[in-house]
A and B are shown apart, each in its own frame.
Chain A
Amino acid sequence: MSDTTELLRTPLTSLNVALGGKMVDFAGYEMPVQFPDGVMKEHLHTRAKAGLFDVSHMGQVILRPKSSRYEDAALALERLVPVDVLGLKPGRQRYGLFTDAKGGILDDLMFANRGDHLFVVVNAACKAQDLAHMRAHLSDACEIEEQTGRGLIALQGPAAEAALARLAPEAAEMAFMEVRDMALAGAHCIVSRSGYSGEDGYEISVPGDKAVDLTETLLENPDVRPIGLGARDSLRLEAGLCLYGNDIDTTSTPVAAALEWAVQKVRRNGGARAGGFPGADVILPEFDKGAARRRVGIAPEGRAPMRAGTELFFGEGDSTPVGRITSGGFGPSAEAPVAMGYVAARLAEPGTRLFAELRGKRLPVAVATLPFITPRYKR
């Protein structure tokens, strides 16, 4: 058992323990890896009904423009991300990437246009570094306010809409990636229709002192079960979504990571605000010439799961790897092992047969189209 005495807690840690969560160290926080249902049932329940995840360890940050004009905060953030922040409409959220001077990815994030400010959510493991990065580069234009007092809950799955609409009927009206202020169980919440499971659902930012009340209210609904980080990982893997630190990091560019969709045309060569972010000289040419390697799905042909670090070979007897798995495991909904990783660009075509080295054996795999499931985002 890991020692959890020195770990940071979220507003929901005590409740997670009371619900029978098996607590582990995740990015310095005491977090539930699973509840008594276990990873497999939790995963399948989320895809069948609704799962509730404590993601309060993630960083919530407000970028408040000193001029009080959204445009000034947006243009400031555009100095750090290859993404259209200025063109994002009020009440809308978008996925983004912090890049570095070499074109690598420092973190991925979600940001929302909240009318007079930006609301940003970053990964727990990168939180301190991201805050320092934003303070160093955005302080001329913005106040950078970490929202340490707030919890963050994800409610994911086909029953999420009905579950949240019980507390606030307007939740059902929200479009995918819409963000609204909403009163939920007496708490002033910021709700986005989004998530990281491949399912429809919501992420709910809630004042820390109301987080337990709201969670307990949601869990009164038998369709809603608490879900741990284990199932969160298998859900996002089946959905083809990147885990920062595994599937994307400072050695992967947006094009290598197959995240071209996250870089809007306005920031690419020929766009009105092309470049102007770290690593643009590396990243933008790759939209024309491609990257040397590419992130793809990997479908093992047998039953054996293949984990991060498993090397991929073109020929069964080759000694030089052509790729490596960066996330992998068993996909409970796919009912098969699933993985993603990087392969040489010439081998990135779906259906390409490769061999993975597992416990000294070379086992066949196929390059696969991501995601492994059909996403059910609200449209």
Chain B
Amino acid sequence: MLKFTEDHEWLNVAGDIATVGITDHAVEQLGDLVFIDLPEVGAQLGKGDAAATLESVKAASDVYCPLDGEIVEVNEAIVNDPSIVNADAQGAGWFFRLKLANAADAEGLMDEAAYKAMVE
């Protein structure tokens, strides 16, 4: 199940695990990424908490935790090479995996059609 937030994050939800990244649209706006700071595995985050920091050639921005949950895995590859996110934001450029506190919370997020309508 692919879901989106108003902060331009995507979530690929399988059971109670959500893989989270930023959208192609977000990457296009940010330009070349040069630095990514990811959360610690094991961090308990609430919806809207700053989960990751990223810097592009232009500016710094935060990536917010889209739902309540625990960070269970982070993508170290993008820390070593942020350009992976520019090349494949909605695939190899994922940021972290979140064990959702309530799997049903994801139902309330936008689907792809609603997200596309929002950014157009």
Chain A residues with CB under 8 Å of chain B are: 33-34, 38-41, 230, 234, 303-305, 307, 329-330, 332, 337, 359
Contact = CB atoms under 8 A, between A and B. Distances in A.
B57 A40 contact: yes
A311 B98 CA distance: 34
Interface of B: 31-32, 34-35, 37, 53, 55, 57-60
Contacts of A303: 34-35
Contacts of A230: 31, 57-58
Contact of B32 (A40, A337, A359): A40
27 contacts: A33-B58, A34-B31, A38-B31, A38-B32, A39-B32, A39-B57, A40-B31, A40-B32, A40-B34, A40-B57, A230-B31, A234-B57, A303-B35, A304-B35, A304-B55, A305-B35, A305-B55, A305-B60, A307-B59, A307-B60, A330-B34, A330-B35, A330-B55, A330-B57, A332-B57, A337-B34, A359-B53
Given A234-B57, A330-B57, A359-B53, A305 B34 contact: yes
Nearest to B79: A303
Determine the main DSSP class of B at the interface with A: strand
B60 A329 contact: no
Contacts of B60: 305, 307
A367 B35 CA distance: 21
A304 B31 contact: no
Contacts of B59: 307
A214 B34 CA distance: 35
Given A303-B35, A305-B35, A337-B35, A39 B55 contact: no
B58 to A, nearest CB: 7
B93 to A, nearest CB: 16
Nearest to B83: A40
Nearest to A41: B32
Contacts of B37: 304
Contacts of B35: 303-305, 330, 337
Contacts of B31: 34, 38-40, 230
